[in-house]
Amino acid sequence: MAVTATSPVARSRERRSTALVAALWWAAAIGVAFFIAGGGLQYSQSIDFIYSFGRVAGIVAAVLVMNQVLLISRVPWIERVLGHDRAAATHTRMGKVAFILMLVHASVILAMTAHYDGRSFGDTVVAMRSLGWFMTTAQIALALFAIVVATSLLIVRRHWRYETWHAVHVIVYIAIALVVPHQFIEGSTFRGKGLAWYFWLLLYVVTFGSWLLFRVLRPLVLARRHGLAVAEVTSNPDGSTSIVMTGRHLDRLGAKPGQFLLWRFLAKGYWREAHPYSLSQAPATNSLRITVKASGDGSARLADIPVGTRVLAEGPLGVFTEAARTRPGVVFVASGIGVTPLRAMLEAAPTGPVDVILRSRSEQESPLRDEIHELAKRHGATVHEVFGSRGFGWASVAQPATLKNVVPDLEDRDVFICGPVQWADAVEADALAAGVAPEAIHRERFGWS
C-alpha cells in the first residue's frame, strides 16, 4: 500500500472510530429522550426531580452495559473501525461509568421511595422485594456488578491470574440477565409498549444477538468449515513454544500479518478458556502458527498440547497491520515474545526502509531471533539488538539508547511497538519526544484491558 506523511487512510479510520464511540454514547441520550417524551419529568414538587434523576441514571447505565457487551462481541465492523485495543479500552471506561450510575440509580430510587412512603431506607430495601421476583434479581445483579468492577481495578488485576479474572468476569452476563426483567416489568417507560419499548427491545436483540453470533456461533461454524487442529508443537531454544495449526482454506479467514486470534484448544485441561495469541508467521492457505512463552498457567501448559487437538478460533482481530501505515518507512520495536506479530509483518516484506529493534535480557532469551535475522537479510531490513537488564527508558543498563539514536530518520517512519505495557509506554514516549506523529505510532497491547 502506498503511504504518505498525510495518510488519508489514517485520518479516515480515526474519524470513523471517533464517530462510532460518539454514537455509543449518543444511544444513552436517545434512551433519556424517550424517557422525557414519555412524561418522565412530570412532578408535583421540586424534590420529584431527584427521583427523575435516579431513573435517568438507570437508563444511561443500562445503555452503557449494552454497549459494553457489543464492544466485546467481536463484531467484525467494530473491530475494523476501532481495533480490538480501543474497543476493549472503551468497554472498560463505559463499565466504570455504568456501575457508578447503577449505584446512583439504586440509591436515589430507594431513598426517594423511602421519603414518599415514610419508611426507613432499610425497610424500603426489604419492601422492594414485595413488588415481585424481578426486584430481588435486580438487587442480586447489582451485587454481581460490584464484584466484576472490583476485580477490574488495576491493583487487583496485577495480583490475579488471567484465568481467574476471566472466570469471574463471566458473571457479568448473569448479572445482565438478572437486571433486565425489572426494567421491562417495573419501568413505567416500557409498560405501554410504545416506541421506547421497541427501542430497548432492539437494543437488547442487537447486543445479545451480536454476542451470540460472533462469540458462539461463528467460532463453531469456522471450526466446522476449516477443521483447524494442532499439527506441530516445537520447543524453541529461548524457552518459547511454536504451535502450527493446519486446516482447510484458512486464507478465507482473512487474517493478516500482525493480527491475533483468540484460541481455544479442545483438549482436557485447555478447553475452558480462550487466550489471545498473535500469528508468529504470515498466514498460509492451510496453516497458521503462533509462538507462546510461559507467562501464566494457560501459556505454560501449551508446551504439552497434544498434536491432533481440535481448535476453536475467534478472529482475526486487531488493526496492528501494514494497512495502518502512514509513512514511507517503518520501525518494528519488540520486547520478548512481543516480537511475534512483528515477525509475521516482516515476513510479508513491508515497503520502504525497515529497521527492527529487538529488546531482551540476553541473546539466548530472544524469541525467534534466528528467524528475524533471516527475514531481515532476505528483505533488506536492519536489525538492532538491545540486551541486558532494564535501564532508564526502554533500553538496558548495558546499552542505553533512544529511538532517534538508532534510527536517525525516525520522523519519516511508522513505529510499531509490541511488548509489556510499561515498556511499550516508554517506547511510545521516546517516539513522541523524537517528533514521530501520534498517528504513526501503533501498539499491540499485552494487557487485560
CATH number belonging to domain 322-446:
3.40.50.80
Per-residue b or e along 162-186, where b marks 16 or more CB atoms closer than 10 Å to that residue's CB:
beeebebbebbeebbebbbbbbbee
Residues 289, 231 contacting (CB under 8 angstroms): no
Cell of 294: 510461559
Q: What's the whole-number average pLDDT of the chain?
A: 84
Please check whether residue 157 is in contact with residue 448, taking contact to mean a CB–CB distance below 8 angstroms: yes
Look at the domain 8-217 and name its fold: Four Helix Bundle (Hemerythrin (Met), subunit A) (1.20.120)
Mean pLDDT of 2-11: 51
Angle, alpha carbons 330-334-340 (nearest 5°): 95
pLDDT value of position 427: 93
3-state class (DSSP) for residue 418: strand
What is the arrangement of strands in the sheet containing 287-292, beginning at the earlier edge strand? 229-235, 241-246, 287-292
Are the C-beta atoms of 199 and 34 separated by less than 8 Å? yes
Distance CA 365, CA 236 (A): 10
Q: What are phi and psi of 242, to 5 degrees?
A: -100, 130
Residue 157 pLDDT > 70, yes or no? no
| CATH code given to domain 227-317 | 2.40.30.10
In this predicted model, what pLDDT tens digit does every residue of 11-41 receive, in sequence order?
676 788 888 888 888 998 998 888 888 777 7
- Average pLDDT rounded to a whole number, residues 428-442: 91
345, 285 contact by CB (below 8 A): no
The grid cell for 4 is 504518505
Residues of the chain within CATH 3.40.50.80 domain(s) are 322-446
Q: Which residues share a beta bridge with 390?
A: 396
> What is the C-alpha to C-alpha distance for residues 158 and 446, in angstroms, rounded to an integer?
13
What lies within 8 Å, CB to CB, of 84 at 6+ separation is: 260, 317, 318, 319
- Cell of residue 116, nine digits: 414518599
**Contact present, 341 and 282 (Cβ < 8 Å):** no
Spatial contact of 271 and 191, defined as CB atoms under 8 Å apart: no
The torsion defined by the Cα of 237, 241, 242 and 244, in degrees rounded to 10, comes to 140
- The yes-or-no verdict on residue 172 having pLDDT over 80 is no
Percent of the chain past pLDDT 90, that is, above it, reads 31
**DSSP one-letter string for 10-52:** HHHHHHHHHHHHHHHHHHHHHHHHHHHHTTTT--SSTTHHHHH
Grid cell 454497549 in the structure block, residue:
67
Q: Coil, strand or helix: which one is 213?
A: helix
Higher pLDDT residue, 232 or 117?
Answer: 232
For the chain, give every residue range classified as CATH 2.40.30.10.
227-317
Euclidean distance between CA atoms 431 and 394, whole angstroms: 11
pLDDT for the residue numbered 1: 39
**Whole-number pLDDT of residue 161:** 63
Q: Is 318 helix (H, G, I), strand (E, B) or coil?
A: coil
Amino acid at 245: M
Mean pLDDT of 154-183: 69
Beta-bridge partner residues of 330 = 354, 414
Give 301-320 pLDDT, tens digit per residue.
Answer: 888 899 999 999 988 988 88
| Amino acid (1-letter code) at residue 126 | V
- Max Cα distance, the chain (Å): 81
pLDDT tens for 330-389 read 999 999 899 999 999 999 888 889 999 999 999 898 999 999 999 999 999 999 999 988
pLDDT at 378: 93
**The predicted structure's pLDDT at residue 92:** 80
Give CA–CA dist 329/425, Å, rounded: 21
Q: How confident is the model at residue 186 (pLDDT cuts 50, 70, 90)?
A: low
Res 247: pLDDT: 93
Task: Indicate where the chain has its CATH 1.20.120 domain(s).
Answer: 8-217
